[in-house]
């Protein structure tokens, strides 16, 4: 049956049809409403409990306090009777373990509480609810039967595997690392140009025009949901004019590095191209956070975000055979990914990534981000940059789920926010500033790649 994904900050209302509405949920909360007698229902995907002041008027659907009443009203306008409505909701995973302090960081819990409070106020019965914990899930509504289903993300693809896991030896990982293709020459050239701030863009553009494969990748990326151009970009020259010099260079680096990441949904990826999509999203958010805080150069933050998880390329094939264990430990038990990697492999993607950075002669500040983005306080070269990428990575893993297997330790989140001039009270505002187009990417990437949970 066709599946219609509902990104965060939006809802879909429909009558009877052969289709399944679906939302992928981490800290976000999804709500379904249905009137079986009228054959009307829908699904709402909420980001926050209430507006922070940034998007109050533009996107009321993002917030429980404004989006849920609007959703109820729309379902009733479509023919449902308020007296016959039934509700289900899920999501609201924890950003970090709860403590007496910093309860404002429990974004998902507060959103779930707001949803329950509004539904009870409207006297709409709640027939199913699964919230809290650390796990990510999918919430789906079958528009043929009006049944709501809540399932852990990815469990269908890997949870039933009976293949015995064989721990790779150091020599296996070393061999895989040595076999990783070198960083593309053009990416190395641009990284050097950006670092030295001296370059000939005219010569670079000419080089790209002669590489038809790379040019096609650049144009595809320029026109993707990540960057959502208002006008279609159909040539390298047009890309340079429309994007400007700095953004064009970022597109070239992104497109040339994309070929390093595995495409198929396996290992760390929850969907086709999940590793690369997560890297791109982290790059976009790191750039935005750098501009917001002034703690790093925006272009450098973008590049650091793009490269931060490069070590996963080496370990990816080994994660696939141990996937049920990784999923259970990180997504259900909330154990940091690098702790689980150390348990299973005796090394981590950050350590392996550091070795790749040395092999590729990457600048020190980028190598440090790759090595310490899970523990940014260990950074010494440019710790603010490492903290920004950590925060961008955290936002991606908690609020834009469905791309890859990830879990970052958040015990020191208040201190890590403070290091870049932020505090816990600003955390909801930071979430609210995530570019809306990023929420669409997991669905456009996944499509039919995610397993059918019906």
2-54 pLDDT, tens digit per residue, is: 999 999 999 999 999 999 999 999 999 999 999 999 999 999 999 999 998 75
Mean pLDDT of the chain: 86
Pairing, β 40-46 against β 10-15: antiparallel
* Structure tokens given for 26: 């981490």
Q: Which residue has the higher pLDDT, 447 or 264?
A: 264
Whole-number pLDDT of residue 444: 61
Question: What is the spatial distance between Cα 263 and Cα 178, in angstroms, rounded to a whole number?
Answer: 20
Q: Which residue has the higher pLDDT, 298 or 324?
A: 298
Whole-number pLDDT of residue 195: 61
Whole-number pLDDT of residue 157: 44
pLDDT at 317 over 60: yes
Under 8 Å between Cβ of 453 and 140:
yes
Q: Which residue has the higher pLDDT, 410 or 77?
A: 77
CA-to-CA dists, residue 201 to 29, 244, 299, angstroms:
45, 11, 16
Nearest partner of 101 among 417, 404, 420, 447, judged by Cα:
417
pLDDT at 288 over 70: yes
- Per this entry, what is the length of the chain? 454
Whole-number pLDDT of residue 164: 64
Domains 3-152 and 170-449 share a fold: no
Question: What is the spatial distance between Cα 434 and Cα 397, in angstroms, rounded to a whole number?
Answer: 13
Task: Quickly tell me which residue has 């249905």 as its tokens.
Answer: 34
**How does residue 447 score in pLDDT terms, banded at 50, 70 and 90?**
very low
Q: What are 29's strand-pairing partners?
A: 46, 91
Whole-number pLDDT of residue 17: 95
pLDDT tens-digit series, residues 159-198? 444 456 677 878 888 888 888 888 888 888 777 766 665 5
- In the CATH scheme, what is the homologous superfamily, with its name and number, of domain 170-449? Hypothetical protein af1432 (1.10.3210.10)
Q: What are 45's strand-pairing partners?
A: 10, 30
* Structure tokens given for 441: 């990417």
pLDDT at 450 over 50: no
Write down the pTM of the prediction.
0.87
Class of the CATH-defined domain 3-152 = alpha beta
Whole-number pLDDT of residue 215: 81
Phi first, then psi: give them for residue 59, nearest 5 degrees. Answer: -135, 70
The domains of the chain are located at: 3-152, 170-449
pLDDT tens-digit series, residues 369-417? 999 999 999 999 999 999 999 999 999 999 988 888 888 888 889 999 9
| Low-confidence winner among 101-105, 120-124, 256-260, 419-423 (lowest mean pLDDT) | 101-105
Nearest partner of 327 among 268, 402, 403, 373, judged by Cα:
268
Q: Which residue has the higher pLDDT, 148 or 104?
A: 148
Under 8 Å between Cβ of 429 and 356:
no
Question: What is the spatial distance between Cα 135 and Cα 332, in angstroms, rounded to a whole number?
Answer: 5
Question: What is the spatial distance between Cα 264 and Cα 379, in angstroms, rounded to a whole number?
Answer: 33
Q: State percent of the chain over pLDDT 90.
A: 49
For 323, the enclosing helix (H) or strand (E) is helix 323-327
Long-range Cβ contact pairs of 173-177 (< 8 A, separation 24 or more): 173/314, 173/315, 173/318, 173/345, 173/347, 173/352, 176/314, 176/315, 176/317, 177/314, 177/352, 177/355, 177/356, 177/359
pLDDT tens-digit series, residues 204-241? 777 777 777 788 888 888 887 777 777 788 887 788 77
pLDDT at 446 over 60: no
Cβ neighbourhood burial of 82 (10 Å; 0-12, 13-18, 19+) = middle
Pairing, β 20-25 against β 10-15: unpaired
pLDDT at 250 over 60: yes
421: which residues sit within 8 A by CB, 6+ positions away?
A: 293, 294, 295
305: which residues sit within 8 A by CB, 6+ positions away?
A: 279, 282, 283, 284, 285, 286, 287, 389, 392, 393
């Amino acid at each position: 049956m066709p599946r219609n994904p509902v990104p965060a900050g939006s809802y879909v209302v429909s009558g009877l049809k052969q289709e399944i509405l679906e939302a992928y949920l981490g800290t976000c909360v999804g709500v379904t409403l249905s009137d079986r007698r009228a054959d009307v229902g829908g699904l709402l995907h909420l980001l926050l409990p209430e507006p922070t002041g940034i998007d109050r008027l533009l996107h009321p659907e993002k917030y429980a306090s404004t989006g849920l009443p609007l959703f109820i009203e729309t379902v009733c306008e479509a023919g449902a009777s308020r007296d016959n409505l039934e509700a289900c909701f899920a999501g609201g995973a924890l950003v970090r373990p709860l403590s007496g302090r910093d309860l404002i960081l429990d974004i998902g819990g507060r959103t779930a509480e707001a949803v329950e409070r509004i539904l009870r106020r409207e006297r709409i019965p709640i027939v199913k609810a699964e919230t809290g914990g650390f796990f990510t899930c999918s919430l789906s509504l079958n528009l043929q039967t009006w049944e709501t289903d809540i399932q852990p993300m990815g469990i269908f693809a890997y949870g039933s595997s009976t293949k015995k896991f064989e721990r790779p030896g150091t020599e296996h990982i070393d061999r895989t690392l040595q076999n990783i293709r070198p960083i593309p020459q053009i990416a190395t050239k641009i990284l050097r140009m950006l670092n030295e701030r001296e370059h000939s863009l005219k010569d670079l553009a000419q080089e790209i025009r002669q590489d038809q494969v790379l040019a096609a990748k650049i144009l595809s990326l320029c026109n993707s949901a990540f960057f959502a151009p208002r006008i279609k970009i159909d040539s390298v020259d047009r890309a340079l004019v429309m994007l400007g010099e700095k953004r064009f260079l970022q597109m070239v680096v992104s497109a040339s590095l994309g070929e390093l990441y595995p495409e198929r949904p396996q290992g760390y990826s929850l969907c086709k191209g999940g590793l690369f999509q997560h890297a791109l999203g982290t790059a976009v958010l790191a750039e935005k956070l750098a501009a917001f805080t002034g703690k790093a150069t925006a272009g450098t933050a973008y590049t650091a975000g793009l490269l931060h998880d490069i070590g996963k390329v080496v370990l990816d094939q080994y994660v696939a055979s141990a996937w049920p264990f990784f999923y259970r430990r990180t997504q259900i038990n909330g154990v940091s990914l690098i702790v689980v990697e150390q348990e299973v492999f005796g090394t981590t993607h950050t350590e392996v990534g550091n070795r790749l950075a040395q092999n590729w002669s990457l600048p020190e500040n980028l190598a440090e981000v790759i090595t310490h983005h899970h523990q940014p306080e260990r950074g010494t070269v440019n710790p603010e940059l490492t903290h920004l990428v950590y925060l961008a990575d955290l936002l991606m893993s908690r609020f834009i789920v469905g791309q890859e297997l990830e879990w970052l330790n958040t015990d020191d989140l208040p201190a890590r926010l403070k290091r870049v001039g932020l505090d816990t009270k600003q955390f909801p505002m930071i979430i609210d500033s995530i570019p809306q187009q990023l929420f669409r990417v997991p669905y456009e990437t996944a499509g039919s790649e995610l397993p059918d949970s019906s």
